[in-house]
Structure 1
Amino acid sequence: MNNTISDKGFVKFASRSEEFILPCLLLIGTTCNTLTFAVMRRGRMRHSSSCFYMATLAIADTFVLWIGCLNRWLELLDKKRPILACNLCCKLGTFAFFFFADCR
C-alpha cells in the first residue's frame, strides 16, 4: 500500500518538475544551437565541410527541440497544442519531427 502512494508521489513530482525543465531546455538548447551555428558559419570555418554539417545539425536540433519539447510542455500545461490544430498540421509536424530527428 505504501509503495503505490510513493509511486504516485514520484509521478506527480516528475510531472511537475517537467513543467520547469522543458522551458529551460528550450532556452538553453536554442541559445547553444544559435551560438554553434554562428561559430560554424564564420569566415575561416565556412570553407570546411565538417563545419557546414555542424551548422546544419544545429538547425535540425533546434527544430527537434521546438517541435518535441514545446508540444510536450503545452500538453503538460493543458494548453491547445498547435500540432493538433488541424489534420495537415498534425501530419506536417510529425513529418518534420522525424525528418529533423533522423537527419543526423
Structure 2
Amino acid sequence: MEMMKKFLDGKFDPYDFSFDFPECLASLTPKLEKENRALSELLNEDMPEICADYEPEPVVREGQPGLLDISKFKKKLLRFTARSIRSTFRHIVWKCFYIRWCYF
C-alpha cells in the first residue's frame, strides 16, 4: 500500500508502478493472506488488471477503450483505494468484535 501511496502522491513513476506493483503484490500475497485475507483477495482480484490497463502512449490507446491514460489510471486507483480502506476497516471491526465476544 505504501507503493500505491507514493504513486498517488506523484513520487512513483506510473509506468514503473504498473509493472512493479503486481510483482510486489505477488511476492507479498502469502503474508498478506495471513494478516488480512479480504484485502489480499481484493488486491489480487483487481490491481493486476488495473495496472495492465495503463498505457501512457495516446497512439496505443486509440481504438482501445479499455486502456487508461494517467488521469483515468489515478481515478481508478483512488476508487480502488477507497474500497480497500472500507474492506480493511470492516476486517478490523470484525476482529475487535470477535475478540471482545470471545474474551468478555
Normalising by the smaller structure, the TM-score range is 0.3 to 0.5
CA radius of gyration, larger in: 1
Larger helix fraction of residues: 1
Question: What TM-score does the superposition give when structure 2 sets the normalisation length?
Answer: 0.39
